[in-house]
């Protein structure tokens, strides 16, 4: 595998007990983030109410979308087709979580999901579909796949791996690995980590960062090395 992987998406949802927000509180939350934007990058260009109890903060630049979606029971934070680093992202997540605790009175976060998407490129073949089907899964497309589907070639081939929680690792991973629909020379990978445990409070937001980095490592290290063994 070529070492130059590309991270194209960071996302997390931090879930808390349901809240009822006033419009003014959501506006105050947006303004407070704007004041801290100089060092955290939370300078969202637009603010809109998507329901009486939810707000959508976004910055759109071409394909890149930076977003913070506030709902009654969760906050969704994402960077899609981003140029941000994981350090940038975790800084924003902690700033938003802390600001929500102060301004929106969220108090505790009881669950977190993290999604990371990366592109990997095999060095032994220019077609990721052939790499995944023949080298990883040992399936010839012409002989083992297409003949069962009226000889129609598949544009995308992939696999999915789910890792349930363990006693000493109480979190789960849902891995997707498939040929990239925009460019068949790349492999699209995604890891969604789900974390439950002791509530996270404003006084200690470090678990939110740790969960994001754990999700990232399981994709960029473990999943990368899994694919690397077949790239010969």
Do 35 and 88 lie in one domain? The reply is yes
Query: Looking at residue 83, what is its pLDDT?
Result: 86
44 touches 57 (CB < 8 A)? yes
Domain end marker among 50, 79, 106: 106
Burial 106-129 (b: 16+ CB within 10 A, else e): beebebbbbbbbbbbbbeeeeebb
Asked if 184 and 232 sit in the same domain, the reply is yes
Task: Judge if 34 and 67 occupy the same domain.
Answer: yes
Mean pLDDT along residues 172-195: 97
92 vs 94: CA distance, rounded Å: 6
Check whether residue 82 and residue 149 sit in a common domain. no
113/172 same-domain check = yes
Rounded CA-CA distance 104/14 in Å is 14
Among 212, 11, 231, 194, residue whose Cα is nearest residue 120: 231
What average pLDDT score do residues 47-63 get? 94
Does residue 182 surpass a pLDDT of 70? yes
- Secondary structure of residue 152 in the 3-state scheme: coil
Segment 20-38 shows an average pLDDT of 89
Check residue 205 and give its pLDDT: 96
Domain count, the chain: 2
**What pLDDT was estimated at residue 38?**
64
Domain end, chosen from 45, 71, 106, is at 106
pLDDT (tens digit, 9 = 90+) per residue, 216-230? 999 999 999 999 999
Report the Cα 194 to chain-centroid distance in Å. Answer: 11
Statement: residue 39 has pLDDT above 90: no
pLDDT digits (tens, 9 = 90+) for 185-227: 999 999 999 999 899 999 999 999 999 999 999 999 999 999 9
231 shares a domain with 120: yes
The answer on 97 and 59 residing in a single domain is yes
Same-domain status, 134 and 213: yes
Cα 113 to its chain centre, rounded Å, is 8
Domain that holds residue 146: 1-15+107-232
d(C-alpha 21, C-alpha 205), whole Å: 22
For residue range 83-140, list pLDDT tens digits in order. Answer: 899 999 999 999 999 999 999 999 899 999 999 999 999 999 999 999 999 999 999 9
* The pLDDT of residue 52: 85
| Whether residue 190 is found in the same domain as residue 79 | no
Same domain, 102 and 3: no
Instruction: Report the predicted TM-score, pTM, of the whole model to 2 decimal places.
Output: 0.95
CA distance 218 to 226: 10
CA distance 88 to 95: 11
31 and 90 in a single domain? The answer is yes
The Cα-based distances of 174 to 50, 200, 218 in angstroms read 29, 23, 10
**Neighbouring C-beta atoms of residue 70, cutoff 10 Å:** 25
């Amino acid at each position: 595998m070529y070492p130059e992987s590309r991270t194209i998406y960071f996302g997390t949802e931090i879930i808390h007990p349901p809240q009822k927000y006033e419009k003014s509180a959501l506006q105050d939350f947006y303004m407070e983030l704007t004041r801290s934007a100089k060092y955290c990058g939370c300078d969202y260009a637009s603010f809109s109410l998507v329901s009486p109890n939810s707000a959508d903060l976004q910055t759109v630049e071409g394909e890149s979308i930076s977003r913070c979606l506030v709902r009654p029971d969760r906050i969704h934070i994402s960077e899609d087709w981003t140029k941000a680093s994981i350090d940038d992202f975790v800084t924003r997540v902690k700033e938003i979580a802390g600001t929500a605790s102060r301004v929106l009175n969220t108090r505790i976060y009881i669950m977190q999901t993290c999604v990371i998407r990366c592109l990997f490129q095999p060095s032994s073949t220019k077609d990721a579909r052939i790499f995944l089907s023949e080298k990883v899964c040992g399936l010839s497309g012409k002989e083992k796949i297409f003949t069962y589907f009226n000889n129609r070639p598949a544009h995308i081939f992939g696999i999915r791996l789910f890792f349930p929680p363990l006693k000493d690792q109480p979190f789960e991973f849902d891995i997707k690995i498939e040929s990239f629909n925009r460019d068949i020379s790349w492999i699209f990978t995604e890891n969604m980590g789900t974390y439950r445990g002791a509530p996270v409070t404003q006084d200690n937001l470090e678990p939110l960062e740790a969960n994001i980095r754990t999700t990232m490592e399981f994709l960029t290290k473990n999943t990368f090395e899994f694919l690397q063994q077949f790239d010969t």
